[in-house]
Amino acid sequence: MSESVDTYHPGLEGVIAGETAICCVDQGRLLYRGYDIADLARHASFEECAFLLLHGELPTTEQLALFKQQIDGERELPGAVVDVLRAIPRQAPMMDVLRTGVSLCGNFSSAKSQGRSSLLTRAVRVLAAVPSLIAARLRVLDGKWPLEPKPGLSHAGQFIYMAFGREPTELEERVLNLTLVLYAEHEFNASTFAARVCTSTLSGLHSSVVAAIGTLKGPLHGGANEAALSLIEKFQSSAEARRWVEEALAHKQKIMGFGHRVYRNGDHRAFILEPYVDELARMRNEQWRAEVYHAIKETVWAKKQIHPNVDYPCGLVYHFLGFPSDIFTPLFVMARVAGWCAHIIEQHVNNRLIRPRSRYTGAPARAFVPLTER
């Protein structure tokens, strides 16, 4: 083993920290298991993408039906989990509630072994539990009891039904499904890497997902979709937005929903989602918000040549769908848990402990001074 710690890349920028067959992210393309994100966004359901990520191939009709049946069979939360959702203080952030909920659900998961099929069973449980947890917490906060899942709905539709107690419209279901497809996977991003580090110690699937949820929460990662909407909501007009953004950039302030560690020519997912900002704004008669959206985007580009990432259009799209902003990042979890679980399994079946080195910048070696002499 090399003792060299000379090559240091702050934030691990540009470092190849592992191999994966799950996803390819580069300037020209975003592929899930070899399939272009544009094709998946146009043609696939989230459930097909989740199957693809977990199993490596798109499902046949029979495989997809069985997969959906397995997820549906795991949607109901144990009573004790609902009790905890009721006990958590109202003001707790939804991402913290979700982190606790997934952790708690892990204690009810009877699969003991860490073989591939056992990990797949647990992955299905977490995929099913996340929307149920978000929906149940929303209902509890509203003074209501969680709803039982309604058989036959899609993953996106089921969430809308369990959260809001009504059947989804075709548009809501289609657009939520699209965002789930776009958010499902993205190579070695911070939360996925956290999940792989945790997995590499053989800690177990639920622990790794909990590590990933904690990592996604931050506004430099998944939390940016909520932060991006709250920026857009600050302004009543595009002129006001332009002025504020120019000032903020002059003071080196970060604009949430812009920039990306990997993409320099724009985020493929943001390009796919952006047309829905204008379409939904027209339908909701809130064109002025879309104008603010474009004004911020144009100003950031004019001043810094930085493109929006997927979180920028997504915050506004979720707002137009009527979702409360504190579930935006939890909805990201609902999608990304598919990618996390695929990485957890990939890491597990070809594992080596992830343990990098650091460059020491502390005091030189020195003599110990006894307490009485300090």
How far does Cα 309 stand from its chain's mean position? 13
Structure tokens at 170: 């075709």
* Strands ordered across the beta sheet of 23-25: 23-25, 30-32, 35-36
Secondary structure of residue 25 in the 3-state scheme: strand
Residue 311 annotated to the active site = yes
Question: What mask of x and - would describe binding to ligand ACO in positions 8 to 27, judged by CB under 6 A?
Answer: ---x----------------
The two beta strands, 23-25 and 30-32, are antiparallel
Structure tokens at 33: 């298991």
Nearer to ligand ACO among residue 48 and residue 311 (C-beta):
311
Contact residue for ligand ACO among 54, 256, 331, 345 (CB under 6 A): 256
Range 282-341, binding ligand ACO (CB under 6 A): 304, 306, 309-311
Task: Give me the residue label for tokens 């409360």.
Answer: 324
**Closest residue to ligand ACO, based on beta-carbon distance:** 259
Identify whether the C-beta of residue 335 lies closer than 8 Å to the C-beta of residue 183.
yes
Instruction: In whole angstroms, give the CA distance from residue 184 to residue 63.
Output: 19
Identify whether the C-beta of residue 186 lies closer than 8 Å to the C-beta of residue 339.
yes
Identify whether the C-beta of residue 256 lies closer than 8 Å to the C-beta of residue 219.
yes
Nearer to ligand ACO among residue 12 and residue 64 (C-beta):
12
How many residues in the shown chain lie near ligand ACO by CB under 6 A? 18
Residue 6 annotated to the active site = no
Secondary structure of residue 30 in the 3-state scheme: strand
Instruction: In whole angstroms, give the CA distance from residue 138 to residue 86.
Output: 10
| Smallest separation (angstroms) from ligand ACO to the CB of 195 | 14
Question: Which span sits near ligand ACO by CB under 6 A: 1-9, 195-203, 229-237, 258-266?
Answer: 258-266
Range 201-240, binding ligand ACO (CB under 6 A): 220-222, 224
Residue 260 annotated to the active site = yes
Contact residue for ligand ACO among 55, 174, 254, 284 (CB under 6 A): 254
| Smallest separation (angstroms) from ligand ACO to the CB of 6 | 22
User: Would you tell me which residues interact with ligand ACO (CB under 6 A)?
Assistant: 11, 220-222, 224, 254-261, 304, 306, 309-311
Catalytic residues: 221, 260, 311
